[in-house]
């Protein structure tokens, strides 16, 4: 008789259902993990809103991708893990053989293998992810903290791509989970952070996550001028990270950076979105524009070390805790949230919220 488990399954746009589906079994090279904690994510929210993700999933499919848990079954050929191990399994792994992987761009792997299904009692981890992107969690590190590894790895990769270094000034536009992670990782790297935020509660949160200065967009007449005024000699920031994903904030980012500086368009607007940029300023200001996507096995390990060492403020990043049965309700609320409270990430506990 096939045993069943509860899982959140995405069927399409704003259609997330709790269902009973078979518990997965480990095949050669795979492990099955009992999910201890899974986290909500801005990417999951975008997928929930749009009903699909061209790269990562096609509905109907078990949903969610940030997780940590305990190995309960080990497939043939697996030697690095055994039953009872606490692990964080990343949501993807590169092939290390394609054009991009051979050039050190594993985040752009042509055969990037994704895995979904974190909002469930159990999840099967594919062989490639077991081999390349599954990590043992040290004793004393809560599972919900370890589950932060994936988004933090994306941020670590984004920060590395900017070339920012000790003593630089960085503007971070946006104070969602990713923007806050950028602020904190930059602060830990000795970078002075100027945060550009929207809501009252985000002013406090930005400072908590390492911003030395905060500009609230509703409190100033000219956001760009107010931000540049906080940089040395008003010349603009060495680096600007855009983490909102709107045309207006992309344009702000270019206007906030100094000559010779770097802009990282981290927030991804919908396909077909256009922006207007001052090409004269770009050319004569020798400004570098770039975007960064996803993570690599190396940045996953860097992020994991930041969490496991206690340097990263994991406890501050998790602001809500619910059981698995609340997942559809949580996403419906996230979709209509207008602000007013400090909510960053929700931890989902399939086994029940710890007391």
pLDDT of residue 69: 98
Instruction: State how far the alpha carbon of 282 is from the alpha carbons of 103, 246, 263, in Å.
Output: 28, 19, 11
CA distance linking residue 229 with residue 256, whole number of Å:
10
Domains and CATH numbers, the chain: 4-148+312-349 (3.90.180.10), 154-290 (3.40.50.720)
Produce one character per residue of 121-143: b if its CB has 16 or more CB atoms within 10 Å, e if not. bbbbbbbbbbebbbbebeeebbb
Rounded Cα gap, residues 174 and 170, in angstroms: 13
- Confidence (pTM): 0.96
Dist CA 245 CA 267 (whole Å): 4
Confidence band of 90 (pLDDT split at 50, 70, 90): very high
* Residue-level pLDDT at 132: 98
Q: Between 337 and 151, name the one with better pLDDT.
A: 151
Whether 104 contacts 154, CB under 8 Å: no
Handedness of CA 118, 10, 328, 20 (dihedral sign): negative
Average pLDDT, the chain: 95
Going by C-alpha positions, the residue among 148, 143, 152, 64 that lies closest to residue 345 is 148
- Report, as an integer, the average pLDDT of 131-137: 98
Interval 36-50 mean pLDDT: 92
pLDDT interval class at 271 (50, 70, 90): confident
Residues 310 and 304 sit within 8 Å (Cβ to Cβ):
no
| Residues 21-31: tens digit of each pLDDT | 999 999 999 99
Work out the pLDDT band at 342, boundaries 50, 70, 90: confident
Give the residue-averaged pLDDT of 251-274: 95
């Amino acid at each position: 008789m096939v045993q069943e488990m509860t899982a959140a399954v995405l069927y399409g746009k704003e259609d997330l259902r709790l269902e009973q589906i078979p518990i997965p079994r480990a095949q050669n090279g795979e492990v099955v993990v009992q999910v201890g904690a899974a986290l909500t994510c801005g990417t999951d929210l975008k997928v929930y809103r749009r009903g699909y993700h061209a790269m990562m999933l096609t509905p109907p499919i078990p949903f969610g991708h940030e997780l940590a848990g305990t190995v309960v079954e080990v497939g043939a050929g697996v030697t690095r893990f055994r039953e009872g191990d606490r692990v964080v399994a990343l949501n993807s792994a590169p092939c290390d053989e394609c054009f991009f992987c051979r050039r050190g761009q594993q985040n752009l792997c042509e055969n990037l293998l994704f895995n979904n299904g974190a909002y469930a009692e159990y999840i099967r981890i594919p062989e490639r992810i077991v081999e390349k992107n599954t990590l043992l969690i040290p004793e004393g590190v809560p599972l919900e903290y370890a589950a932060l590894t994936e988004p933090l790895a994306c941020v670590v990769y984004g920060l590395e791509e900017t070339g920012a270094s000790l003593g630089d000034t960085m503007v971070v536009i946006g104070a969602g989970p990713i923007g806050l992670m950028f602020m904190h990782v930059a602060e830990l790297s000795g970078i002075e952070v100027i945060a550009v935020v929207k809501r009252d509660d985000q002013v406090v949160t930005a400072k908590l996550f390492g911003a030395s200065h905060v500009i609230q967009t509703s409190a100033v007449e000219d956001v760009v001028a107010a931000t540049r005024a906080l940089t040395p000699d008003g010349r603009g920031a060495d680096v600007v990270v855009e983490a909102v994903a709107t045309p207006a904030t992309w344009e702000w980012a270019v206007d906030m950076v100094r000559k010779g500086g770097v802009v990282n368009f981290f927030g991804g607007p919908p396909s077909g979105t256009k922006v207007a940029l001052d090409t004269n300023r770009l050319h004569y200001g020798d400004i570098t524009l770039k975007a960064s996507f996803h993570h690599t096995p190396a940045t996953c390990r860097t992020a994991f070390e930041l969490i496991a060492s206690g340097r990263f403020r994991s406890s501050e990043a998790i602001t809500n805790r619910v059981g698995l049965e609340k997942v559809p309700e949580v996403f419906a609320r996230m979709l209509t949230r207008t602000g007013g409270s400090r909510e960053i990430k929700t931890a989902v506990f399939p086994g029940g919220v710890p007391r």
